[in-house]
Chains A and B, each alone.
Chain A
């Protein structure tokens, strides 16, 4: 459900994470010697110049420039971090946009930070893949899940059907981080109530949680609670956090129970997200609105410093539960050295410093100097990092850089507004119109130009690696073919893009939030591709919130976005086209509504991954592909690089707390960084020398002139 901000931000100010850090240059004998010798030489040059008996201004100028040069020699270092951090165990990363909030009930971006501060009942096993494995994080044992009969009101009738009851038991002795909001400033013990508190916050409309719709129609009594809270909000009253509701119950200090009016297997996954992480009511009460910038959690790290658009610092949380590095992994992990730290206490790095980087080149250069520990491979640095054969380039290998490929379950797409009078609708002509545009868009070209070919062209919603994806399926309308596209357009009644009724060219308004140069380039390419059909494309660029607003309200014709799964289940993708989700603010922003698709979705959502479920997904695919509400573009893969002083790096498609497994060889980093960043003084010295020596002949001229003038006793005014 989280829109994939990482991908959107590829075109917003800058992409990538940060890297790490630095320290003052250690004063080794050699580095002291060098400037000292330089100084000697400078003195020699200057004294030669002085011996020429220069006029006073020139001498003064020389002295000044000399002073500047000396100053420069002394303090030069390109290390952006304080000396005290030189050998410290600090992971250096970047962020390019302020996280709007660190409130786990609300947060979309900066998930990594939130993931590290707020652990949940479950977490993903760090090393295991295919399939991804959930393991207990704060949970003490696997939840007990049993069917219960429930009565629900549907279409005005009361019906009985099968619901579910989940009983969760958490570990005892877990404590929140120390924070002034607790009595005595000591983090108190976490209880079942703190988990339920997180659910109650979702039901509070003033919090504005984006996932309330996930639970609203499922947890017993939740919808009524939300309704009631909305009314209270309108009346200016605070939301209700006390009245018990049947769906959420604490059985004892460490046990809570969730009752649902339908089977909901995905709840397991949701219990691994930050939305369901325990929260302290004391913190919410104390910090109010500031809670968004003052998170109080119980994870491996806690927030130490938050300076908007400058720095975010996380430090190790001493109250974190005892957790050890996993001792088993996927095949090949042992050989890759990923199990060397098995059994060590987590987390292994003391601090994580995120520096704000607006300019992508600056960040990339800082990475190359060793001041960030990780960086993402993007279109700017791709050809420098990756060799033509697809591996790391020799330059990067020499520096001890390692490459990780990470495939997150995601999809990038274009969506039509199905309620638009021109491009929406379900008649064969409208379908053909959309199919024509779909045929004109060459996703491979976009993938090549904007992602360096890293990814797979999408044929349908479900990305590779998830149940429901079929690699041999070909969507007939996603094989770029301009001829076929033109033909479809003619069949739709717009031969050559001209509406025969009015004689006007068809125009398509494309809503987008892309203001950066990279974004403009994307717009230009899309425009070029669709305009080849004869349809005129008018990009409408607005700021992100305004754009988001328009999309939510359905005031658009075409927009593009991407979706990143919150949990690895096909349901998290196909629900994007589920009719009832087309409400304002709901996930179905294209407002597609096909009763047959909806019916099939309702059947598959609660099923396990069986061949029967696969069959249903195929049927849904057939329907959605023909209706063509979306143009599926691609599933991108992320390439990340990091230095070899950072160990245990294994990208995880879903988990966000992976930094706690990292280990850092700070000694090695300090040594290499110093080695790579010795300043080069010669050009500066050369410039000074040039200026000084270059003005000597002129000095002579002026001296001659002024002595001449003295002789003429000032009779000649210049």
Chain B
């Protein structure tokens, strides 16, 4: 087990190297340092000398390979530097944003998980009936609506008309749950269709397996089949989708957060996009990648916990 984990972590290193190469090519090679300097200094009307100074200060006057080494070292040590627009340390911005994102996203995520698995079970249980037929059709319809419509309609209906939750904003502590209600509802509806369909397919796939046939032959009831066998075996693919979603929990949902004015990482990223803040985007890309890789490792490990057939070699 430990050996496996170590090996997986070692595998991650070339991947991180590749990712930082990509970010380097994207942000250093395609955007001229001159442009970056200008965007950093623009508020104060830079003279050519100021730009030169800035380039020198930030090491952009050096040859590309030297810059690349520096960029790599900084990223791998997670030294993200300061924001291009506000000059705030990016780590501090991340620290501020991670709380709200994690709270709101994890609440929405677990609600989504519970609701979708229950619904998928119900649909699978009722397969072949009108519930299944209309349920899956409804799922396709829900999938085909753009998330923007959910945001606009969700806020209008649940916030303005029914008054269940504050329209926007965030407050730490227990109050956070109230601010998470609207994002939760929107996340629920926008992901419901795809998720229910996915879990339904997973479960039906299991239902076509031989062991289910055997169980039925033994006389296990339909209910027993679904809950004792299918759900347990469907746990692996569900788990994959769960663990791989963890980085997105922390990164927050870009649209939802910025629409509901939740000061999380998603909003921070949207702001960075509108302000062309390359430093913040770069940091977020790298951080997101690390979280994703950690998520992937955790998934593999958790397989062994759920499914004794899986061995990590």
Contact = CB atoms under 8 A, between A and B. Distances in A.
A/B contact in complex, CB under 8 angstroms: yes
Interface of A: 55-58, 60-61, 64, 72, 75-82, 98, 100, 208, 234, 289, 307-310, 355-359, 362, 365-366, 369, 371, 515, 543, 545-546, 548-549, 552, 585, 677-681, 683-684, 694-695, 697-699, 701-702, 705-706, 709-710, 713-714, 717-718
A679 B163 contact: yes
Given A75-B177, A365-B167, A543-B275, A680 B162 contact: yes
A56 B169 CA distance: 40
Contacts of A359: 168, 259, 261
Contacts of A356: 261, 263
Interface stretch (B40-48, B68-76, B240-248): B40-48
B17 to A, nearest CB: 33
Given A80-B168, A82-B171, A75 B42 contact: no
Q: Lowest 6 CB-CB distances: which A-B pairs, in order?
A: A80-B166, A706-B222, A714-B216, A545-B42, A698-B131, A714-B217
A545 B130 contact: no
A710 B221 contact: yes
Contact of B45 (A55, A366, A552): A552
A310 B114 CA distance: 32
22 contacts: A57-B121, A57-B226, A58-B122, A72-B164, A75-B177, A75-B178, A208-B45, A310-B170, A356-B263, A359-B259, A515-B274, A545-B43, A546-B39, A546-B42, A679-B164, A684-B162, A684-B164, A694-B131, A699-B126, A705-B222, A706-B221, A710-B219
Nearest to A702: B126
Contact of A679 (B162, B167, B222): B162
Contacts of A55: 125, 223
Contact of B166 (A61, A78, A680, A714): A78
Interface of B: 38-39, 42-45, 49, 86-88, 96, 114, 118, 121-122, 125-126, 128-131, 155, 159-171, 175, 177-179, 181, 207, 213, 216-219, 221-223, 226-227, 258-261, 263, 267, 271, 274-276
A38 to B, nearest CB: 13
Nearest to A679: B163
B122 A61 contact: yes
A64 B115 CA distance: 9
Contact of A56 (B88, B218, B227, B275): B227
Contacts of A546: 38-39, 42
A549 B42 contact: yes
B165 A78 contact: yes
Given A75-B178, A289-B87, A309 B118 contact: no
Nearest to A72: B164
Nearest to B226: A57
A322 B36 CA distance: 50
A417 B181 CA distance: 52
B207 A365 contact: no
Contacts of B171: 80-82
B131 A695 contact: yes
B261 A57 contact: no
A310 B118 CA distance: 37
A310 B217 CA distance: 62
Contact of A698 (B118, B126, B167, B271): B126
A77 B178 contact: yes
B181 to A, nearest CB: 8
Contacts of B86: 98, 308
Contacts of B49: 234
A64 B87 CA distance: 47
B155 A76 contact: no
B13 to A, nearest CB: 35
B261 A358 contact: yes
Contacts of A234: 49
B271 A309 contact: yes
Contacts of A82: 171, 175
A713 B181 CA distance: 48
Contacts of B167: 78, 80, 362, 365-366, 369
Nearest to A356: B261
Given A78-B163, A355-B169, A710-B221, A543 B276 contact: yes
